[in-house]
Each structure stands twice: as C-alpha cells, then as structure tokens.
Structure 1
C-alpha cells in the first residue's frame, strides 16, 4: 500500500512545492510591478501638474497629458470638489464622489501628492494619483486627478496570465514527477522480483547439483545390475518379468535424464556455436518424438535457415518443447519458422489443453509445471540455453486451443 501511494505523495509534494514557489514569485513580481506603476503615475502627475500650473485649467492640455501617458481620465478640482477642467467631460459641476477621493484631494491641496490603487475594474485594481497644481506664488490652487488606463492594467493582466501559466506548468511538473516516481517504483519492484528470483534460482541450482550428485552413483549401480540380470537370465525370464525389467531400466533412464537436467540447472551448459540448419534440427526432434509418441502428428514448415547455434543444445530445446506438447495431451503439433530481422523465429504450436493460468506467470522458473508428474525443469533449462545463444524462448499467443512457444536464435551472418 505504501509503495502504491508513494508516486501520489511525490506528485502532491511536487505540486505543493511548485505552487508555493510560483505564488511567492507572483507576489514578489506583483509588488515590484505596483511600485513601477506607482512611480510611472507619480512621474506623469508631477510633470502634468507643473505644465498645468503654467497653462491653467485647459481641457486640451489635460487631454494631451492623458494621451501621452495612456491614462483613463484626467481632471482638475478645487477645494470645494468643483471640477475646473475635465479631459473627458464638462467642467463646472461637482466631482463624482464615487470617482474622486475628498481626503486625497485635500492632501494634494496641502501640497502632498499621493498615488494608490483606489478601486478595481473587474478583478484588476486601478491606480489613481492626486497632485498639487501650484499658482504663480507657489501655493497649491487646484488638485490634478489622474486615473490609470489600459496601459497600466495590461501589465497586471499579463502578470496574472503569467501566474496561471506558472500554475499550469507546476501541475504538469507535478504530474511528470508522479509519473517518474511511479516508473521508478515499478522498476524497483521489478528489480526486487528479479533479485528474489535470482536468489531462489541460485539456491535451487545448488540443491539440484547436490541431489544429482547423490543420485547418479546409485542409479549407475541399479542400471548395471538390471542390465546384468537381463544379459544373464533374459531368455529364462517370463514375458511379464521381462516387461518389469524393461520398466525398471526405463525408469532408470528417466531418472538419469532428470539428474542431467539437475546438473544443467546447476551449471550453465557449455555452448559451442557454429553454423547449423534449423530445418534439420527440427526434423531430427520430430523424428525422435515420433519414436516415443507415434500417435502425435508433427507438421513441419521450416525453411532451410542457417543459424549460429550449438546443434545439440538447440535439438534439446526443440525435443523438450515437442515432448511437453505430447505429454500435455496434444494430438497434433505444428512447427513453423522464418527470418525476423537478424534472428530466426521458430514457433511450436499444439492442440492440447494449453498452459494453466495458475503457472503461466512462472512457467519458465525451475520446478514450475502444470503436470502432476512434471519436474518443471525442461522449460527453465531451455530458456537458459536460448538466452546463452543470444536468443529467447517465450510463451506466444496460441489462439485457442493449445499452447504455443516461440524460440528465437541468431541467424548465421551472410
């Protein structure tokens, strides 16, 4: 459960960190932008107030100030909040208290300019400035009110877009982090399973070598004694006794092959790769199956492909695949092959009951078998032989019914 939640937690932590950094940067940038906009409006107001002190209450001069600085409005008011001049409207009336700030007008008439974000249009705050307009004697005679326009609002709108872009990028980065963490967790689980399989395989190989060593000598004694009895008394034995003796020798041979499998599992079998004809190897394996299981039909469709392989070991793999099909109850086995890039791909498909779902995941592990009397060594050894050739042995998609295995081997260069 903890491993499953790790990618989610990593993604959430990454998202929280990225969002925190984005919001902190936005706050810093917003504060810096406010200072820049305030300084810009303050500079425009000071210059315009000095100009209007010389030109008087001239609406044309106000319109020039508004146009030059990208403002939304510019007007002059006196101490009684009467509009002396307005760049966008008529003069003579009282200023709209929803628009003007009497306290800041009074401050301007005392000679104190002020710039602030006084109200908002939608979700964008609008800066306003009030500046003293001085007469010939230097005393304030009116207050100049400036309202920031689209040029000021556009900068804040751009900053807001940058914020949402940063949030979106943070989310994408968190998603990428979560996906990366999930991939790392999957890789870790695969590595852990591979390490466990390797450790289990090594322990099984050691045990197999010990068992094979302990069994080989007694088997040799049993086989020698049975063959001696058959040589000395074979003609005198009744048919049932001869059959029993043949059964003993057959079981001894089966145990001998099993010990050889154990030894192959315990050590990497030597590979003597040389050019070999895959069609001939498949035909030899089919003939061997015909002698042991004459009721099983083997249909060969293998072109003369030259592979770089140890002929005896590849024949062992093919014989094992055919033997497994026969023991599983197949009546017909199809063997096909063809080139696949630099490799030769051979498939063995049978019409048997197929691979039990309970053993499918560990089919190529030692001692995994779907048969009651199966040792579960043949496929494990066959895969190791294929991999030592630089190829592979895999369970292929058979299409019901039956089982299918795919063997790949390197083609002979040229």
Structure 2
C-alpha cells in the first residue's frame, strides 16, 4: 500500500485515543550535536499537555488490524473499515522526517492486536528502541502498552518511552465485560501495577545515585540512574458507551490515582461508529459531560476534593449547566462566606472563581496588609463569581462593593 494511504488510514484510526500528553518528561536536548530531538519547545500544536503547554505529536497506530472485537472500537475485528499496517522502519523514518521538518516534537504510538499481545508489543518497542539507539532521538515518545504483554516487554518499553499508557476503557468491570469481553480488567490493573513498581524504583534510584569505581586518583563518579517512563503512566475511559454514571467514573479515577499513581486519567466521550452493535447507544453523550468530568478530575487532583463530595445529585451525574466547583458551593451554603483575610488555603481553593495560582497570590498579599474587595481585580479573577462567596474588607455578601482602586494594588500581586 502507498505510504500516504497508510498515513491517512492509521493517523485517522488513532484519533480516538485521547491519552497523550508530554507533561512531566525529563529534560533532554540536542544542543551541541548530541542527538536529535527535544522534549522542549513549541511546534505545530496537536495536543495540550496537562500543564498547559502546546505540543505536537505524530500520532499513529502501527496497525488497525485487531484480533479483538471491542464493541465501542471502530477498529474492532468485525468493523468494515479500511485496514493498513506500518513496518517498523516506516514509523521510524516518518518520525524523523516530520521532526526534521519541524512538524512534530515527538511520537505517540499505539496499535491493534496482531498475532499476539507479545508480538504486537515487540513491534511497538522496537520502534522506540531504533529511534533512541540507532538515531539518538531525544524527543518525546509515548507508547500505548498491551496489557497482556509480558512483564519483560513492559520493562523494555519503559526504558525507551517518556510515558506509557494502558487504557482502562470502561469505568466498571461490568461495563468492560459487556462491551469488551476479550479484555481482562484484572490483567489491565496488574500491568498498571508493574509499571508503577518500575517507575517508583527508577525514581528512588535517581534520588540516591550510587557511586561507581573511578580510575586511581580520580574523584568517584555518580552512576547514571536508571530511566523508566519519567513522565509516568496515563489511561483513558470512554464516557457514555455504557450505563456508568459520573459518580462511578470519578470513583474509578480516584482509585487509579491512589493505587497506581496515575499521572492523568483522560475521558473520551463515546462517538457512534459505523455498523455499531445494538448494545451501544445510538447517540453520543453531550460533550459538556466530558468537559465536566475533566473539571471534576481537576478538583480531585489539585483542589483537595474527594470524589464522593463532588456529585450530590441522586442520579449520580454532574450538572451540565454549571461547573462542579460552583455546584458544590451552591449545595453547601453553610461553608460560606469565606473570609479572604483569615481562611486557610484549603478553604480558599474551594471558592468559585479562585484558582490555585490566585489563592497563592492572595496568601502572599495578605502578609503585607488586609485585603479589600477591589484587590480581586488585580488578580484578574471575576468579582462576580468570587464576591457572593467571600467576605473581605469593604464587602460582605449582599453588600454593595466600592469600585475605587486601591493604591499600588497591581504591585501587590506582581
């Protein structure tokens, strides 16, 4: 098959996987002629990293042939779609060519299951190995791992990749058995556990490098710490393909973050596919539901919320009309107003309209003097969102707020 046709098929087939981002990788660069590629810098933006950076990735499937017949997957074995398969050297050459033309910053590679999980994983790892060892490629590499592949192959993958991911697919074991009976939730979690163990061991070794024997008379040198997926592991859940509510989705995410130290859980709204099974919904869930799940996930990761307290509705669903933080505040009027001049950080971050950065600036500023309502404008937050939930000098909820600027308020938050 013509290479351009392969790219068209396999790049399109990879678009359903959202679990790719480059945040957290270790620093490698190509300064001084030491290899090619870099995990830093900007390019054509194809994706956003968790820390907000725009990154460009060549996102491909090695093949969309697959032995599995997961009902929600457009590449399932019974799907009537065009099929293609890259050779290992073709993916390597494409990655280097796109990078040299400044089109990408790295590679995201996944694959359908061909012959066996081990055979597929060997091919995926070989792409990364050749890029690193044969071409000294120092850009970002994210590999999608096969849960049923051997532990040795998973260990090899981590030596070459910045990030590894294994898709959990469904938030519950019941949903996975119903829609992807050939996949094993226990095997997926065991593979996640192996990856966590390798990542933790590499970080511990990196924190305490062991001395190595040096030449007589020379100062001892530190051993190079082992490298294993420095950007951690991520996963993806499909939203709306089964009857799982948002409460069960967030509970599953909380378990993944707690047990496997997952770097990121991605949520992908189910999209109806051609020749779909009758077991699948006929229409896609609202994209706002996916957006609200990401917001709720952010509250768990950075704002100290427990997954159990985010959703109060009896139906177990997040409200679509307001964001989860505002919905929580409206459901707990007894927690407000919060005194901006006295409240601890863990209460301030729960105020609608205040982000983590804004709260940190508030805490720094109130060491200098007492805060006033007008100071919120210098933080570039919306007073209309914040003021109904706080009390501050010159304002209590329901009172009229004076608009006169405070002298040097911009310098206060600089």
TM-score, normalised by the number of residues in structure 1: 0.22
Larger strand proportion of the pair = 1
Larger helix proportion of the pair = 1
Tell which structure's C-alpha radius of gyration is larger.
1
TM-score, normalised by the number of residues in structure 2: 0.22
